[in-house]
Amino acid sequence: MSETNKDAIVVVDNPEESRFEATIDGRVAFVSYLRRDDTIFFTHTEVPKELEGRGLGSVLAKSVLDRARAEHWKVVARCPFIAKYVERHPEYQSLLRKEAG
């Protein structure tokens, strides 16, 4: 995967594993989640070392946040990477649900 073909990356929901995944060069990058009613909790983002530095984490973050918006889910960004992405992309801040306590 090069920097120029990020649009070709397909991110799919794998509900059995509770994660959104993208497979590149035989490696799986993913964002783990928990679903509760109309809220999705993003808990962990992982990009294999061999795929780091190519912007894949950002592609995953954008994809899962776009999906949350399309499905009208509220987002709890427990994953530091997703939280930082939302901080840097204010267009997603309206998706955030404040956690009690």
CATH code, 35: 3.40.630.30
Q: What is the mean pLDDT of each run of 10 residues along the chain (101 residues)?
A: 64 97 94 97 97 93 98 97 97 86 46
Residue 101 has what pLDDT?
46
pLDDT of amino acid 5: 65
Q: What is the 3-state secondary structure (H, E, C) of the chain?
A: CCHHHHHHCCCEEECCCCEEEEEECCEEEEEEEEEECCEEEEEEEECCHHHCCCCHHHHHHHHHHHHHHHHCCEEEECCHHHHHHHHHCHHHHHHECCCCC
Note the pTM of the prediction, 2 decimals: 0.89
Examine residue 55 and state whether it is found in any structural domain, yes or no: yes
What pLDDT is stored for residue 46 in this prediction?
Answer: 97
- Asked if the structure places residue 45 within a domain, the reply is yes
Q: Is there a domain that residue 5 lies in? A: no
| Residue 14 lies in domain | 10-93
Q: List strands edge to edge, sheet with 19-24.
A: 12-14, 19-24, 27-36, 39-46, 74-77
20-39 pLDDT per residue, tens: 999 998 999 999 999 999 99
Could you tell me if residue 98 is inside a domain?
no
Domain count, the chain: 1
